[in-house]
Structure 1
Amino acid sequence: MALTPDPDGRLACGRDAAAVWDRAVAGEPADAHERGCPHCTAAAADARGLGALVQRLAQEDPEPPPSVLDRVMVAVRTELRPHDVLTLPSPHGPARLSRAAAAAVLRHTVDAMAGVRARSCRIEQADDTRSGDPGHAVDVRITVTARFGVDLASVTARVRQMVAAAGEQALGVPVRRVDIEVVDVFGDHW
């Protein structure tokens, strides 16, 4: 039966759990207290068992399944997909920001407002290839829930204003358009 040390690293008997573990792993003999104490003997047994397991695993030569490399490469390529990032203007050249991170900032902005909560947020970045402009402006589509009884026109106008301000001030990207869809209502108990 393993006994968990206190947050300060001491066993229930008062002994330092790390010192008991270190002696057990090193194979040093236990003193009279450690030999008779159920807390110390359990900690020493845990240490020896873990040490044996680590030794056994270190000696194994694991063979990964053939699909591991393929799955890793898919994950790497997914991370590098340009449609998953926003390009932001910067004095040092274009900077990139994850769409998921940007959406989280905008959802947090909405969640901080009274009477409304964000559900989802999708950000699309314009690319005006006709003028040669890389098109840093974004269009935001956000779904929200509103408190029952609020003036939806007023709430959505505030959401639009706050999302545009957060996009430009917090993210550094101009917001061209904000589409808001109210998908649910909630009561005061939420």
Structure 2
Amino acid sequence: MAMTSQHPHGGADPLPEGPVIDADPAPAPQGDEELLGCGRTMDSVWETLDEPADAHQRSCEYCTRARESLTSLSSLTEQAREEEQKLAPAPSLLARVMDFARVHVRRSHPVLVFRDETSEMSVSQAAVASRVRRTVDSFPGLIARRCRVSTEEGALPDGEQPLHLRVSMNISPESVYTHYDRNLRTAIIEDLHDELGLRAQAVDLEIEDINERV
């Protein structure tokens, strides 16, 4: 049913040659998701970057290289965030982040987040969705399902492009009668700003299912 509310390891064996057959494949790719040589998607590696590599990723040369590239990108992004917090971002560091993202990690479904007369910047929809899912899952009785990201009409005076999010989830019966929606919207907006420096202007929440096992 749908209800809508507006608003690593020790000594590792040598990597095998050729594609690795995945005994536990990731979900089938959607739309323009980028496939690695083993059949898994780049997005599936990104979404598990904060977790230990699974058995397939440890033995797969494609997933191993993807994790190394994404880990380096995450480290560069964290350095940029620390510089920004000091109110003195280093242009060379920001350039390294963007160059790395363009050359080494071609993320699918880019979303425009900044534009002025001389430049523009996009982020991966998967990166935004991953951050939103972690926020939703941190609420008792909620499990994130899908997150669609689009850009609102018109840029803000500082060049930022406000985002419009549509987030679907499963929810426990007890949570239906709480103010989860207002609190969750606030948490999503704040986490995106604090963690990724993005501004969400609208967050629409959709309940896909009410499940006692949530």
> So what's the TM-score if we normalise by structure 2?
0.44
Higher relative contact order (CA 8 A, sep 6+): 2
Greater Rg, structure 1 or structure 2?
1
Q: Which has the higher helix share?
A: 1
> So what's the TM-score if we normalise by structure 1?
0.49
